[in-house]
Amino acid sequence: MSIPEELQKILKSAREVVALTGAGISAESGIPTFRGADGLWSKLSPEELASFDAFLRNPQLVSEWYEHRRKIARESKPNQAHIALVEMERIFPSFTVVTQNIDNLHKRAGSMKVAELHGNIERNYCLGCGKHYDGEDFDRNRNFKCPECGGLIRPDIVWFGEMLPVDQWAMAEEAVQRAEVIFVVGTSSVVYPAAELPMTVRRNGGKIVEVNIEETPLSNIADFSFKGSASRVLTEITDQTKELRGFAKDTE
Ligand code: BJW
C-alpha cells in the first residue's frame, strides 16, 4: 500500500495530529467489537446490560458482565495498531490518542497522551460515597458493594445518556481544534459526541483519514479512506511517514 501523494505531503510536515479510535483497533487483540455480525450487541442487548437503568435493575448481572470483559481485556495484549500509534507520538511534535475504548490497551502499549472518552474498565467507584476502586479491589469484593458505606460500586465507564468525563472531553476538543490530520481508526462513527470530532477537524481546515475494514457513515466524507485492518494500514502509514520525515533506521 502506498500513501497517496497529497497525504504524503501533509504527513511529511504535520505538527498536530490526532487518532480517534474505536473497538475495531482492539479486535485483533481478541476483544469483541459492539456492532456487526460478531459484535457484542448481536447477542446481547445494550438496554439490558450497558445502561444505568440496567445496572440499577440488576447490579449483580451487569457487574458480572463487566468483570468478564475486564478479564478478557487484561488477558489481551496491545497489537501492532496500538504500537503504531505509540510510534506516531515519536514522529509528530504533538500527537493525541482519543479513544472510545475502555480496554486500557493504548496506555498499556505505551501511548502517553490518551483521552478516554468512555472511561476505563479498570476503574470503579461507589455510587454512595464516591470512593474509587481499581479492577483488582473490585475482583476481590465479590458482592460489588462498597466496604465503606455499603453503596453500589459501578464501573467508571460511560453508558448511553450519560455525560462524558469533562476533563477527557476537553482534552479531545482541544486536540481536534488544532489538528491538521485526524486518523479515525476502527470505529463505526455512529456514537456521539465522539463522531463529531472529525467534523471539527474538517471545519478547521484539517484532513480526515479513515482506517476501517468496512464502509461507515464517515467513509464518503473522509479525505482519505483506507480499507484494511488497523494493524496493517497503521503500520504501513507509520513506516512510510518515518521515511518521509527522515527518521534514520539506525536511530529507531
Ligand atoms: C476494524 C477492525 C480491524 C473491526 N481494523 N477496523 C447526537 C445525535 C444522535 C444521538 C446522540 C447525539 N448526541 C448524543 C446522542 C445519544 C448517544 C448516541 O450517540 N446515540 C447514537 C448511537 C444514536 N450518545 C450518548 O448517549 C453519549 N452521551 C452523551 O452524549 O451525553 C450527553 C447527553 C446526555 C443525555 C442526553 C443527551 C446527551 C454517551 C455515549 C456512550 C457510549 N458508550 C458505549 C458503551 C461503553 C461501555 C461498554 O463498553 O460497555 O461505548 S456504546 C459503545 O459504542 C461503546 C463504544 O465506545 C461506542 C462506539 O463503538 P465503536 O468503538 O465505534 O465500535 P463498533 O463495534 O460500533 O465499530 C467497530 C468498527 O471497527 C466497525 O466499523 C468495524 O468495521 C471496524 N473494525 N475490526 C479496522 N481489524
Integer CA distances (angstroms), 87 to 103, 144, 154, 242, 247, in order: 20, 39, 34, 9, 11
Q: Which of 98, 95, 111 is nearest to 165 (CA)?
A: 98
| Ligand 1 within 6 A of CB of 213 | yes
CB 163 within 8 A of CB 54: no
DSSP string, 163-179: PPPHHHHHHHHHHHHH-
For 68-101, the pLDDT digits (tens) are 899 999 999 999 999 999 999 999 999 999 999 9
pTM attached to this predicted model: 0.95
Confirm whether 118 is a catalytic residue.
Answer: yes
**Which mutation among 28, 29, 34 tests ligand 1's pocket best, with the greatest number of atoms within 8 A of CB?**
34
**Which mutation among 82, 104, 192 tests ligand 1's pocket best, with the greatest number of atoms within 8 A of CB?**
192
CA atoms of 127 and 148, how far apart (whole Å): 12
For 23-73, the pLDDT digits (tens) are 999 999 999 999 877 778 777 777 678 889 999 999 988 888 898 899 999
Domains of the chain, earliest start first: 1-31+78-118+164-252 (3.40.50.1220), 32-75+121-157 (3.30.1600.10)
The residue whose CA is least distant from atom 12 of ligand 1 is 192
Quote the ligand 1 centre to 162 CA distance (angstroms). 12
For 216-249, the pLDDT digits (tens) are 999 999 999 999 999 999 999 999 999 999 987 6
CA atoms of 50 and 160, how far apart (whole Å): 8
Q: Which of 68, 82, 118, 132 is catalytic?
A: 118
